[in-house]
Structure 1
Amino acid sequence: MANPQVQKFLITGLGNKGVFYENTRHNIGFKVLDHLAQKHATNFSSDYFGDVLRLHHRGKLFLLLKPDTFINLSGKAVKYWMDKENLSTDQLLVVADDIHLELGTLRLRPKGSDGGHNGLKNIQEILSTSNYPRLRIGVGKGFKKGKQVDYVLGTWTQKELSALIEPMENALDGIISFGMKGLHITMNVFNRIL
């Protein structure tokens, strides 16, 4: 029987399911959560609206979610798991790519606009608020006008992957700190180095 006193957090990585999208820039939310699972030597299981992993860490429960809806419909999965686990938006952290940030730059914020990201836009629409924490990871802006979709759905270069090694580790530390120390302490520490 689950302990009702355990503090829970829903960490949602945005991406598109399937081998075709696996190594695309748009899937960096999935990539971060996969890396976190690997570090803790555990695996995701298929569940309602996505792949889910319950990660227990020092008395806290991190519910990792990779929605199996397309990225543009991520809100449906987020809402389902928030309702199922009786979570508030303060207990939600969404990890997403951001073309407005340089490659590897991370920004943790308590709220904000969707920035043109259709996954964040859908979450905002479904939750009826933009007041939820998000960790945005820069994928750069190496595309010509009108080629944004091709860029975010394009695959990583080896140089880009090498440049992401340290930022990925920082992202994992930020996620754990979010649950252990809270959003504002984590922002004060991590936004200086991310």
Structure 2
Amino acid sequence: TEHNLGYLYKTMIDAKSSARYLYEKTLDSKLSESYPKKSSLASQLKVVGQFINSGIDTSVYYTTLNGFDTHAFQNNKHENLLKVYAEAVDAFVKDLKRNNTFKDTLILTFSEFGRRVEQNYSDGTDHGAANNIFVIGENLKRAGFYNQLANLKDLDDNGDLKYEIDFREVYATILNNWLEVDDRRILNKVFSKLNFI
């Protein structure tokens, strides 16, 4: 138990030291007031913006926006969630541009699952296969869509959209071309690279 207690104390000291470091680094960052109020995603992105603008040496930040698991009454829910997303990301990008850090930032938006095409009996959709990924950045090779629009008449055997780009190709491209790490070691397989960064 003495070993465990020593480890606990060291962990607490490391956490306190890390918190002090983050506090001191972000003291000098310019706080933006342009983020939407009452938005959890905007609050998260505001903190991430503070960290990025203060020069903290961190490669990846992760934020979440919950609520897309819409098995019922989907239309209004998705519309509201996408509005929250758009307003928060817009404020975040403006904040980074104002602080000249957007050029060094890549924003990746993904979901853990897609939605089924056919509406269920509760005015929603169930879990599906294909999905969208948004990549936002100043250094993209070209803006726009990287795949064709989905064909709603050509679905797989489960009634799902057929995907055109394997999401692991997106991850491999970002790992290799943006983060400059060996994507094969992380993904345990070789995936094609896409031409967006």
Fold agreement, TM-score > 0.5: no
Q: Which has the larger radius of gyration?
A: 2
Give the TM-score, by structure 2 length: 0.30
**Relative contact order (C-alpha < 8 Å, sep 6+): which is higher?**
1
Structure that is richer in strand per residue: 1
